[in-house]
Structure 1
Amino acid sequence: MFFEPPPAREDDSPAPRPGLPVWYAPPADQAGRVTLLGVVLARTPNAVITLSAITAFSTGCLLNVEVATRRHTLSADDYQALQMSLFPIMVPGLTSGRPLPEALLRFGVRFADGTKATTVGQRFERSRFTQEAPPGPCLFWLPGGMSMRSGDENAASVVPVGLWLWPLPPKEHFELAVEWPAGGVELGFTSLDGSAVAAAAERSAPYWPPES
């Protein structure tokens, strides 16, 4: 035989990538429970930001936000720039110690004791994640995608945004903050019921319960 099989060698397949840590995203093996439906956080001539629901899990809660934009009186270039600013990784000029760029859409939570967490400065590089949990609370932007909606070229574009709050908020009212200068959205706060979130979290359950 002229062509022989290659000699056996050690497995050189790449090592499996670690999964997302529990503090960064909802648990993949758990069905969350929904509370709070349909709250308008901000409305301007070019943008509407709504909190459609909160999905509570045993480890935290997912704030399901939708950002709708329309061209209205904007030029084509200005409208494109507004849409691009919906993705934090695409916003230039975010430098430590300097004022935040107007294009940056930012969210935050504030608890009754003054503790707060925001999406400003979030790192999106998965290689930088560690399994060791940071000091909470944390609010992480989980990018979604462009939602398909019917309508002509003047119809609104809707981008879903998931905000993962870890750990669960206290069982009292807390505030969700939003600000987006480029979209005409001034800093505003919306009160949310932490006790309702906690009650929903208690009803969360694994997709496949452990066998008895």
Structure 2
Amino acid sequence: MFFEPPTAQDEPSESPQPGLSPWQAPPALERGAVLVSDLVLARTQDVAMIVQTIQAFSTGCLINVDVITRSSADDSALTRAIYQHMVTGVKAGAPLPDDLLRFGVRFADGSKVTTVGHRIGKRHPPSAAPPPGPQISWLLPGMSMRSGPEDSSVLVAGLWLWPSPPAEPFQLAVEWPAGGVELTFAEVDGAAIASAAGRSLPYWPDGEAE
């Protein structure tokens, strides 16, 4: 089993905590270097998932995924699928519900990290101690519509992978049983991300007035 139930310590907390830690989002004053990906993660009759771009930063990488549903699909289910507090049955030790859209990364050494147990919008003080291992976090997604004879909905989701992955191939995993997407793996070029990270520039060069 790749995607496992959240552990007890992963249960979401209702206590508001200000600020974003470095493992939750890209650095605020850094532009990131963009890699065009066009990596197809999944494609069914009504759902497609494409990694359009990857932005490499000095501290990690932002994997930008388009999740497209056709008019025959329930687009409201797509919105609910990424917010774990809106999906019933996400409990520590319990089987994951089919409604939950989940992503994960598996590295060459066999270690992995997933979005299961991560709550969008949960904040930690920037001064908090970093977690012991890699983290993959949802960033707030956006929805858009597309024109044409057949309506479609597009969820633009960002997956923040911290810290920067090793300079070797790794696998990006996705599973969404309710959307007809079985567990699928796609290879990502870690060396290209590592190279691009060196080209990530600040929004304001040193010495330039803000």
Using a 3 Å threshold, how does the CA distance of structure 1 residues 169 and 112 change in structure 2: closer, same or farther?
Answer: same
Aligned residue in 1 for 2:199: 203
Write out aligned runs for 1:131-142 (5 A).
131-142=128-139
Aligned residue in 1 for 2:96: 100
Aligned residue in 2 for 1:175: 171
Question: What's the offset of the Cα at 1:127?
Answer: 4.8
Question: What's the offset of the Cα at 1:69?
Answer: 0.5
How many residue pairs were aligned?
190
Can you give the 5+ residue segments of structure 1 that lack an aligned partner in the other structure?
1-16
1:117 has 2:110 as partner: no
**Structure 1 contact 173–192 (Cα < 8 Å) conserved:** yes
1:146 has 2:155 as partner: no
Identity within the alignment, % = 54
Aligned residue in 2 for 1:49: 49
**Whose radius of gyration is greater, 1 or 2?**
1
**Structure 2 contact 19–123 (Cα < 8 Å) conserved:** no
Aligned residue in 2 for 1:155: 151
Aligned residue in 2 for 1:3: none
Correspondent of 1:83 among 62, 75, 78: 78
Question: What's the offset of the Cα at 1:147?
Answer: 1.6
Question: What's the offset of the Cα at 1:86?
Answer: 3.3
Question: What's the offset of the Cα at 1:144?
Answer: 1.4
Using a 3 Å threshold, how does the CA distance of structure 1 residues 197 and 28 change in structure 2: closer, same or farther?
Answer: same
Q: Secondary structure at the match of 2:144?
A: coil
**Structure 1 contact 87–143 (Cα < 8 Å) conserved:** no
**CA displacement 1:7-55 (0-9 Å, x = unmatched):** xxxxxxxxxx843111110011001001142111000111001100110
Can you give the 5+ residue segments of structure 2 that lack an aligned partner in the other structure?
1-16
Aligned residue in 1 for 2:71: 71
- Alpha-carbon distance in 2 for matches of 1:118, 1:201: 22
Q: Secondary structure at the match of 2:142?
A: coil
- Alpha-carbon distance in 2 for matches of 1:127, 1:111: 26
Using a 3 Å threshold, how does the CA distance of structure 1 residues 64 and 86 change in structure 2: closer, same or farther?
Answer: same
CA RMSD of aligned residues (A): 1.9
Single out whichever of 28-37 and 79-88 deviates more from structure 2.
Answer: 79-88
- Alpha-carbon distance in 1 for matches of 2:111, 2:168: 13
Question: Which residue identity does 1:21 align to in structure 2?
Answer: S
TM-score for both structures, normalised by structure 1: 0.83
- Alpha-carbon distance in 2 for matches of 1:46, 1:55: 28
